[in-house]
Structure 1
Amino acid sequence: MNQSSLTCRYSNVAKALKAVILTLLMIMLWQSALFSQGNFPGSTAGVRAGEATWIWYPGDYAIWLANKMQNRRTERGSFLPVFWKMDSHYVLVEFHKDFELKAPERVRIAAEGRFNIKIDGKALTGSPENIVMPSGKHRLSLKVFNQANVPAVFVSGDDVKSDSSWKVTFEDKEWIDASGKASDKSGTIYQSVGYWNFNSALQKPSQFHLRTKQKQAVKKEFLPDGSILLDFGQETFGYVRLKNITGKGVVRMYYGESREEALSRDSCETLDTIMLQHAVSGFDTMTASTKAFRYVQISTPKGLSIDDADMLYEYAPVTTRGSFSCSDTLINKIWQVANYTLHLNTREFFIDGIKRDRWIWSGDAYQSYLMNYYLFFDQPTVKRTLYALRGKDPVTSHINTIMDYSFYWFMGVKDYFEYTGDSALVRTIYPKMVTLMDYCLSRRNKDGFMEGLPGDWVFIDWADHLTKQGALSFEQLLFCQSLKTMAICARVSNDLKGAAEYSKLSNELTRKLFDVFWDQNRHAFIHSDIGGRSGEQVFRYTNMFALLLGYLDSAKQKEVVSHVLLNKQVQAIHTPYMRFYELEALCAAGKLNVVTGEMRNYWGGMLARGATSFWEQYDPAAKGAAQYAMYGRPFGKSLCHAWGASPIYLLGKYYLGVKPTSPGYQTYEVRPQLGGLKWIKGTVPSADGDIQVYCDAKKISVKSSGIIGVGTLIIQSKTPPTTVQGTIRKIQDGLYKVEILPDQQYVVNYVAM
């Protein structure tokens, strides 16, 4: 396509064809307007008190929506489905709630699917959209069937409303005896309903889609063969729109996260083809599906021209509530790009990367949860992702088929409870935790260790020389943490017998872990045990996880830091995925100065290469187009991967120093550390409010806004600190604390260590 062909016109289009094109154009404009408005419910807030909302069987909407999202993946135009078992929603469910009304009440009913209505077990005629609930005590029941979409109901009256207090089941086990009497006793198990802020009868869950907004390319380049290369200035995601098309033929589009990829017609990961079999004039069209890209090469045949092209950027309108800035402009840039990276990968769910997989991987999602708690604090996206990953019973494989990803799923539930205090989610999902843990326990070897069996993918990390055979210390450590999680969630769910059993299993496995894998001479955990013979390799993985999860006493912490984490003879980690945990372990060990340097070198290194979002993997030694290669493909690497955004979490939890110490920030700790920076400031969100922190070498300021819990400010100071807002208490030499009460600001003068 050259500049003159872009402006050429065809004037001999038949009137009938023009009418068809105008009709199609009107449809496209209507769709564009619909897309730009979006249909995304309030993302972070729950259903407001007294407000009706659409309800469904818990987890089913997440499973249904995940099926739609994850099956959009294509590679060079070919459909590529997921590698694991996909479940579906229950097609027939029953909802009910008991009400006590002082007077009769008119109630509006809406449903997704065919439905019937019962009051006190007596069916009403037809499927009325409006009913009258009589005064007194009554039970309202609705049974809904929907094969295509999730059965859901919306009930709206003055007092009779569908909300989180309703109960639901997928099998009501109702029966009638020979006399016609209905059963008054059954083994039906009812769950609390699921919901997600679809708070209008017209806002049907099945019609949900993300929002879009128009974006223009920042640069247009005409290539020698007549095609055009658009540069949108940064990594982005959405639909490409072609404007004012004239002529007929096939338009081909080649997408690239890098310029090299977009120019490689034979090797780019994603492409689109638009066929215009009949001549058109002044026609606009849009790609059928979303793509990730920065660059787009558009190739048109002779006789077809396009005036212009732009895009509709698709996004989840989550709110950035967390913040961070400091004296180092590079660290500030790293935080900003990490923020954008996580935004791009926060969609209907937390996904791994926007170009290639666009799937929900448990290991990737686990890190996104943690980053989310310091950026968006978006609870619904975490819940949807947990439900979608777990799916339905029976359990036939590990989550994503990966052993460690099952363990990350358990750990994700634990962290969600600790950060949010949402015990309702724990109680609802606990039965699925039990069945997944039963599956794990059934696959232990004779020594009680988890070991990869046929059908299991043991991942850990992308790394050379990392054996996956036998019992691996890393997997046993995550297994220990998963059993601890089960004990916590069992207590929340009032399963005291289960809590005792899971605690016992966790303690036994922890002892075995140290007996078999801890090498006193190497001052570290060794990697594997194959057939009772311990290997001699030491990798960073088990050792750094043992430190950050609290499995090491102070003496072993020092050994691991010295002999593993700061030991360049131990194989280095090259993925941001495991750098996340390596740097967290160093933070937990108090080595923030080291972490600051590593962030500048590693994430700063990607920025120096022109990154506008953070990558799946970064090797400083790779140069030119070779830096984009992965999986045996020249452009297989994702240049926008959720696990690359980990500085958000590290800077929030360890530099600003904020973390909950009991579920839902009922109590919390603020322990700011400069890590070699001159000053830091930022905000950490919670379910109820925000915590604002400022710290330099002489002053610390902390304020909680809206948080009902009580915090503790921990101060490391060469001299006794002073404040006028509270009482400073000495913990030990050089370490002090101040109680932080809600909605008050504390300013402490101190001398940094």
Structure 2
Amino acid sequence: MKSTFEYMESSLRRTLVHLNIYKQKKLRTFLVLLFSFWGLTGFAQTWIWYPGDYEIWLSNQMQNRRTERGTFFPVFWKIDNHYPLIDFHKVFDLSTPEEVDIYVDGQYNVKLDGKAFEGSPKKITVPAGKHKINIKVFNQKQVPTIFVKGNKVVSDSSWLVTYEDKEWIDETGKTSDVSTTKWMNAGSWNFNNSDQLPANFMLPTKPMEAASINKTNDGTIVDFGKETFGYIKLHNLKGKGKLAIYYGESREEAIDTAHTETYDKISVDQQSGDYTVELSKAFRFVKIIADPAVTFDKVSMLYEYADLQDKGSFKCNDEEINRIYDVAKYTFHLSTKEFFIDGIKRDRWIWSGDAYQSYLMNYYLTNDNGTVKRTTLALRGKDPVTSHINTIMDYTLYWFLGVYDYYLYSGDADFVRSNYDRMKSMMSYVLGRRNKDGLLEGLPGDWVFIDWAEGLSKQGAVSFEQLLFARSLETMALVADLVEEKEDVGMYTKLAADVKKKLFEIYWNEQKQAIVHSYVNGKPTDNVTRYANMFAIFFDYLNDKQKNNIKNSVLLNNDVPPITTPYMRFYEMEAMCALGEQEYVTKEMKSYWGGMLKLGATSFWEEYNPKKSGAEHYAMYGRKYGKSLCHAWGASPLYLLGKYYLGVKPTGAGYSTYTIEPALGGLKWMEGKVPTPAGNIELYCSTTNLKIKAPTGTGTLMLKSKKAPVCKEGNFVNKGNDLYELTIEKNKDYDIKYQAL
């Protein structure tokens, strides 16, 4: 929850940023004066910490909850930890004395103007005038956090923090200056009360009933009606003996007790009472087997969720597409917890490639900045960098792309600036792993993933990695410009141009009219795969002729191995949308995502191959039920329908400028909302009528029409080839008559 102060600040920031006069320090000073003028007392306080530390700590708690058949299953990459000793400080200028309450998680001392209070005070008095408060906290087990509550003396993100204050005392007893200390603005979330200790955070839950409960010869089978996530609750459990709960995303998995991926085995010894399992899990079905002396009356669950509200929406005349959108929404929500995770049954880890897709879906559905920032910080971890993120080369590169996308969709320059040092050290690691040709090639310890695809070669320097590498370097140049590091801008721009040049010199095959897959032993291979080709289209690395040739020689060519994961179908469909082939994409969505629905899916899967049948669909990783039937990367229609059908995308940070290019893709009509930092852009589109209302920035409508569109609210410009453009002003209703091609 945001405070009144934070709401005012964010609202004014959005207004002023579009006028190019926003500076954070000036704005906060202005708000302080404004509050004083109004005679308002008290400022918003929140728990604060060293930026990124709580996110890393919380991700460690979450990712180490995974079990497989009762066995603890930890991540296999380096886990970082929080700094155990943190110094917090801020200078206040008070017109009157203040009594200040201090809450701390850890051992601590408090200093006022460099002089320590005795003990660890819970309340101090700060005299009128200009004073510096320091609170130093030690906590090895949990993140050092503080909550300071006075009238004007409150803890918020304007406090400065460091993990090394570099103080020492000379022979005279004088404290050294701290000019070499690197201070950071404190991190925070929404823990705005003194009793909301961040270390005690848990996701909310709500009770849900089972759809059906059936007794069998050897136990009880419970069906909750759809894929879900949470804690099984046994009502009026009593007796003495053993009880086992076997979880299944499918009925087959739940009843196949020798092969279920997860279970709980409980020793019961109680007279009577309700029992809730300790760890939340994914399931639709559960099978419960109990000793004869153990009984219970009913089975229900506590559904665990992240409390994010939908802001975006999509609806059209095609009920199958509507159903696909709704199931994509549900899949996204199930896979959004404290962070954006991969899937809810098996890993429940933060994978960078999966998270990158969740960011994009998020911008068109919940538009929640907090989850993006937490996930970004948790994935990056701390220096020194000793391996790729999740050990995967391409996942490191996706991380860079995610940082800049966040800035584009949110306009939050402060977060991007605060991460620039982390970006530089991560990129230094990447640059240090180039081969003699200046290309990225898997070295020992590097996992080149790309996709789950049988027979996909990872040898040599793979073109797909070079493509992501070039875009990551371009991202570094853009962010360097944002933080005004001009030398870095030049360096990263040159490096990006060099990689991009090599990409086409080495991998472009004129005969095949495609980018070939790899470069091995100094020679490009003849193998063509879809990956680099489709990314090159929506990265806009190709001219129109190359794009059209790739569409026919690769994307519509059945001889090129097909993609069977929603993970890469996402990008394949994006490439086709970028080519204006929404009608083709509509058919593919109905075939691929609709194909899962026809098999009874209630959330979208990690992998779907229409050639499989029956229980074959549940197998993966050499295990009968290894596949996740609820996977974040299955929810991509949220993004595709928002960006390429409603056609809304930012071109300036935080939607200061944006484009709208609606495409029905064979639909008769569609309507929806696309969230921005200032509110929702609303759109209705049929084959003859278009209605738009936007609360922010300056938009450019690009509309294809057989004849000149008619609009009382503005004047269209004819761009040729049946394309017309109209400037969209904020808070203005547009009603446009046109004739779709």
Cα distance in 2 for residues equivalent to 1:45 and 1:67: 32
Question: Are 2:357 and 1:364 equivalent residues in the alignment?
Answer: no
Judge which range, 422-431 or 67-76, deviates more: 422-431
Offset of residue 419 of structure 1: 0.4
> Which whole-Å deviations, capped at 9, do the CAs of 1:439-483 have from their partners, x for residues lacking one?
000010000000000001000001122110100000000000110
Aligned to 2:707: 719
Task: Work out the number of aligned pairs and report it.
Answer: 708
The correspondence for 1:298, drawn from 270, 281, 288, is: 288
Cα distance in 2 for residues equivalent to 1:457 and 1:153: 40
The correspondence for 1:106, drawn from 82, 99, 111, is: 99
| 3-state SS, counterpart of residue 230 of structure 2 | strand
Cα distance in 1 for residues equivalent to 2:229 and 2:106: 33
Cα-Cα RMSD: 1.4
Aligned to 1:67: 60
State how 1:662-677 maps to structure 2 within 5 Å.
662-677=652-667
Offset of residue 115 of structure 1: 1.3
| 3-state SS, counterpart of residue 561 of structure 1 | helix
The correspondence for 1:208, drawn from 188, 201, 221, is: 201
> Which whole-Å deviations, capped at 9, do the CAs of 1:637-692 have from their partners, x for residues lacking one?
00000000000000000000001001110111111110000001000001221100
Aligned to 1:550: 540
Cα distance in 1 for residues equivalent to 2:147 and 2:409: 30
Question: Are 2:223 and 1:231 equivalent residues in the alignment?
Answer: yes
Aligned to 1:93: 86
Question: Are 2:169 and 1:176 equivalent residues in the alignment?
Answer: yes
2:262 maps to a residue whose letter is T
Cα distance in 2 for residues equivalent to 1:363 and 1:394: 22
Offset of residue 118 of structure 1: 1.5
State how 1:478-489 maps to structure 2 within 5 Å.
478-489=468-479
Cα distance in 2 for residues equivalent to 1:728 and 1:232: 53
CA 123–73 in structure 1, closer or farther in 2 if over 3 Å, else same: same
Aligned to 1:327: 317
| 3-state SS, counterpart of residue 451 of structure 1 | coil
8 Å CA contact retained: 1:64, 1:150: yes
Cα distance in 1 for residues equivalent to 2:586 and 2:5: 34
Aligned to 2:240: 248
Cα distance in 1 for residues equivalent to 2:139 and 2:8: 27
Question: Are 2:580 and 1:583 equivalent residues in the alignment?
Answer: no
CA 246–160 in structure 1, closer or farther in 2 if over 3 Å, else same: closer
| 3-state SS, counterpart of residue 253 of structure 1 | strand
8 Å CA contact retained: 1:43, 1:317: no
> Which whole-Å deviations, capped at 9, do the CAs of 1:499-543 have from their partners, x for residues lacking one?
110011000111011000000111000001011021110000000
Aligned to 2:135: 142
Aligned to 1:747: 735
Question: Are 2:502 and 1:512 equivalent residues in the alignment?
Answer: yes
1:559 maps to a residue whose letter is N
Aligned to 2:485: 495
1:712 maps to a residue whose letter is T
Structure 2, gaps ≥5 residues long: 10-42
Judge which range, 691-700 or 725-734, deviates more: 725-734
Aligned to 1:37: none
8 Å CA contact retained: 2:659, 2:699: yes
Aligned to 1:118: 111
1:222 maps to a residue whose letter is K
CA 385–666 in structure 1, closer or farther in 2 if over 3 Å, else same: same
Aligned to 1:33: none
Question: Which TM-score applies when normalising by structure 2?
Answer: 0.94
Judge which range, 613-622 or 487-496, deviates more: 487-496
State how 1:676-695 maps to structure 2 within 5 Å.
676-695=666-685
The correspondence for 2:516, drawn from 516, 523, 526, is: 526
State how 1:423-462 maps to structure 2 within 5 Å.
423-462=413-452
> Which whole-Å deviations, capped at 9, do the CAs of 1:587-635 have from their partners, x for residues lacking one?
0010000000000000000000000000000011111111110000000
| 3-state SS, counterpart of residue 245 of structure 1 | coil
| 3-state SS, counterpart of residue 412 of structure 1 | helix
2:58 maps to a residue whose letter is L
Aligned to 2:307: 317
8 Å CA contact retained: 1:174, 1:186: no
Question: Are 2:144 and 1:151 equivalent residues in the alignment?
Answer: yes
State how 1:186-201 maps to structure 2 within 5 Å.
186-201=179-194
| 3-state SS, counterpart of residue 117 of structure 1 | strand
1:201 maps to a residue whose letter is S
Aligned to 1:734: 722
State how 1:153-168 maps to structure 2 within 5 Å.
153-168=146-161
8 Å CA contact retained: 1:119, 1:140: yes
Question: Are 2:533 and 1:559 equivalent residues in the alignment?
Answer: no
1:415 maps to a residue whose letter is D
Offset of residue 139 of structure 1: 1.5
Cα distance in 2 for residues equivalent to 1:405 and 1:42: 32
Judge which range, 77-86 or 116-125, deviates more: 116-125
Cα distance in 2 for residues equivalent to 1:686 and 1:504: 33
2:266 maps to a residue whose letter is I
Question: Which TM-score applies when normalising by structure 1?
Answer: 0.93
Judge which range, 476-485 or 184-193, deviates more: 184-193
| 3-state SS, counterpart of residue 272 of structure 1 | strand
Cα distance in 1 for residues equivalent to 2:8 and 2:100: 19
8 Å CA contact retained: 1:99, 1:137: yes
8 Å CA contact retained: 2:239, 2:272: no
8 Å CA contact retained: 1:255, 1:270: yes
Cα distance in 1 for residues equivalent to 2:167 and 2:579: 58
8 Å CA contact retained: 1:43, 1:380: no
Offset of residue 48 of structure 1: 6.7
Judge which range, 351-360 or 215-224, deviates more: 215-224
Offset of residue 45 of structure 1: 12
Offset of residue 282 of structure 1: 2.2
8 Å CA contact retained: 1:70, 1:359: yes
Offset of residue 246 of structure 1: 2.8
CA 43–464 in structure 1, closer or farther in 2 if over 3 Å, else same: farther
| 3-state SS, counterpart of residue 265 of structure 2 | strand
Offset of residue 281 of structure 1: 2.8
2:47 maps to a residue whose letter is W
Cα distance in 2 for residues equivalent to 1:113 and 1:247: 42
Offset of residue 136 of structure 1: 1.8
Offset of residue 175 of structure 1: 1.3
8 Å CA contact retained: 2:4, 2:44: no
Cα distance in 2 for residues equivalent to 1:44 and 1:132: 26
Cα distance in 2 for residues equivalent to 1:410 and 1:374: 20
State how 1:462-481 maps to structure 2 within 5 Å.
462-481=452-471
1:729 maps to a residue whose letter is V
8 Å CA contact retained: 1:235, 1:293: yes
Identity level (%): 55
Cα distance in 2 for residues equivalent to 1:453 and 1:199: 46
1:254 maps to a residue whose letter is Y
Aligned to 1:629: 619
| 3-state SS, counterpart of residue 237 of structure 2 | strand
Cα distance in 2 for residues equivalent to 1:175 and 1:247: 64
> Which whole-Å deviations, capped at 9, do the CAs of 1:688-743 have from their partners, x for residues lacking one?
211001100001111113x3x11111111110111111222222231112211121
Offset of residue 245 of structure 1: 2.0
CA 666–45 in structure 1, closer or farther in 2 if over 3 Å, else same: farther
Cα distance in 2 for residues equivalent to 1:710 and 1:201: 42
Aligned to 2:32: none
> Which whole-Å deviations, capped at 9, do the CAs of 1:384-418 have from their partners, x for residues lacking one?
00000011111000000000000000111010011
Aligned to 1:308: 298
2:252 maps to a residue whose letter is E
CA 317–471 in structure 1, closer or farther in 2 if over 3 Å, else same: same
